[in-house]
């Protein structure tokens, strides 16, 4: 190739659209987009993992929410809580509940020790 020659660009016929193929009419384009959209799966990322069944995921979260939002009662001190997480936190950190639980365990051990001595 000499300095005066230019690289030849491919020639497109008038109205053919792009290099990739012939131009589509507006209705064909709408139909192609609808077909592509329906063929794609609805995928949602949950903690970095793809989930294809979004309805099942929603149902699981709804059931989990209602299950964890039921009123709970501490079996040691009989205090009522609005959710499971509040009950777990109470049992882990409340001094009164911890003392009642420790007393119950000591009584159980003393009773078992008394049975063994007899």
Please enumerate in sequence order all residues whose Cβ is within 8 A of that of 72, keeping only pairs 6 or more positions apart, or say none: 80, 81, 82, 83, 84, 86, 87
Q: Domain containing 85: what range?
A: 54-117
Is 39 within a domain?
Answer: no
**Half-sphere exposure in the Cβ direction for 98 (13 Å, CA):** 6
Domain count, the chain: 1
Return left, alpha or beta for 17; rule: phi > 0 is left, psi -120 to 50 is alpha, else beta.
Answer: left
- Give the separation between CA 73 and CA 91, rounded to whole angstroms: 11
Question: Tens of pLDDT along 15-47?
Answer: 445 566 667 788 888 888 887 776 665 667 777
pLDDT bin (cut points 50, 70, 90) of residue 94 is: very high
Is 83 within a domain?
Answer: yes
Which residues, in sequence order, are bridge partners of residue 80?
Answer: 73
User: Is pLDDT above 50 for 12?
Assistant: no
**What pLDDT does 3 receive?**
55
Is 110 within a domain?
Answer: yes
The residue with greater pLDDT, 47 or 3, is 47
Is 41 within a domain?
Answer: no
Specify the residue for token string 């639980």.
Answer: 101
As a whole number of angstroms, the longest Cα–Cα distance in the chain is: 115
């Amino acid at each position: 190739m000499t300095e005066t020659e230019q690289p030849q660009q491919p020639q497109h016929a008038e109205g053919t659209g792009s290099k990739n193929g012939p131009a589509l009419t507006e209705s064909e384009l709408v139909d192609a987009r609808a077909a592509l959209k329906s063929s794609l799966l609805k995928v949602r990322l949950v903690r970095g993992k793809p989930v294809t069944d979004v309805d099942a995921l929603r149902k699981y979260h709804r059931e989990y929410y209602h299950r964890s939002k039921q009123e709970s009662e501490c079996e040691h001190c009989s205090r009522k809580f609005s959710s499971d997480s509040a009950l777990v936190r109470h049992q882990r950190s409340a001094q009164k509940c911890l003392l009642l639980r420790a007393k119950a365990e000591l009584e159980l051990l003393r009773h078992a020790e008394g049975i063994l001595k007899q």
